Amino acid sequence: MEKTFRVYDQSDVKSAVRVHYRKMRKNQTLDYVKRMHNKYLTFDKPMDLWEAMEHLNTLIDVSDPDLDLPNIQHLIQSAEAIRADNRPDWMQLTGLIHDLGKVMFLWGNDEDGTSQAEQWGMVGDVFVVGCKLPDTCVYPEFNALNSDMNDKRYNTDLGIYKEGCGLDNLDLAWGHDEYLFQVLQNHSSNKLPEEAMVMIRYHSFYPWHTGGSYSQLLNEKDKEYLEWIRDFNKYDLYTKCDKTYDLKEVKEYYQPIAEKYLGTAPIYW
């Protein structure tokens, strides 16, 4: 039988996933997102790429119904699948690092939802804050729990945004995508192409890239973004398996690629 992914409405989906999404939808308000930007986008904690990878050895993503392995295994599986398809080196590297923003848990806490125990500020499908939550969100029944949905500044299709303003001008729920994007954007030796940066920033934005919502906010450029994201997402989603790797084994291959695009200086988180 062919394996299916992202099935959330079956009785065997761990209730932890549902509990996670309930908290995420309730707590990720525009005000919360602004606070997290101020708190976490400080770029004052130097850490080498490989050290960051090692830290993901201890983190299991509670929002993922398909994988019970430490997150580093998912990163290596994604990268190896991109490599097996002979895709460009920068895309292989993107596969390897795309979830590294989850290292946020190292300096996170339960109240922010950025810890090992509370991950609702770190992982899971994201949505736009500052405008109406669409029904394409996973577990849409939780949308009403978000207090912004009772605020008439934020509960309309446009909310605080201008029609057609484009993805890059929206604030999304806070999580590992935006964190890594901002960290790499701030990294002076970053030479990753625009496609890679878009893949990193928007891969968890399912209500847009898979649900087809938010057309009122999109611009011309976002059509191209959508193609890049869909291309990347097959590797993020369909490569999840039980095969495990040793980081040391694959490091020899990926290190020169990492140096080519990110240099050798530590990254500031």
Q: Which residue has the tokens 């973004």?
A: 225
Of residues 178-237, those binding Fe ion (CB under 5 A): 236
Q: Output the smallest distance, CB 53 to Fe ion, in A.
A: 14
Contact flags string 230-269 toward Fe ion, x per CB under 5 A: ------x---------------------------------
Pick between residue 99 and residue 118 the one whose CB is nearest to Fe ion: 99
Of residues 128-187, those binding Fe ion (CB under 5 A): none
Q: Output the smallest distance, CB 155 to Fe ion, in A.
A: 28
Nearest to 177 by CA among 98, 95, 266, 91: 98
Other beta carbons less than 10 A from residue 2's beta carbon? 3
Q: By CB under 5 A, tell whether 99 contacts Fe ion.
A: yes
Nearest to 73 by CA among 55, 57, 89, 95: 57
Q: Interface with Fe ion by CB under 5 A: which range of 7-15, 92-100, 114-122, 225-233?
A: 92-100
The full DSSP string for 242-255 is: S----HHHHHHHHH
Q: By CB under 5 A, tell whether 64 contacts Fe ion.
A: no
Pick between residue 214 and residue 235 the one whose CB is nearest to Fe ion: 235
Q: By CB under 5 A, tell whether 80 contacts Fe ion.
A: no
**Vertex 82: Cα angle to 79 and 87 (nearest 5):** 130
Distances in whole angstroms, Cα of residue 253 to Cα of each of 83, 88, 148: 10, 14, 47
Q: Output the smallest distance, CB 228 to Fe ion, in A.
A: 15
Residues 6+ apart with CB under 8 A from 71: 56, 57, 59, 60, 61, 99, 102
Q: Output the smallest distance, CB 176 to Fe ion, in A.
A: 6
- The Cα 24–Cα 146 span in angstroms is 9
Q: Output the smallest distance, CB 177 to Fe ion, in A.
A: 6
Q: Which residues bind Fe ion (CB under 5 A)?
A: 99, 236
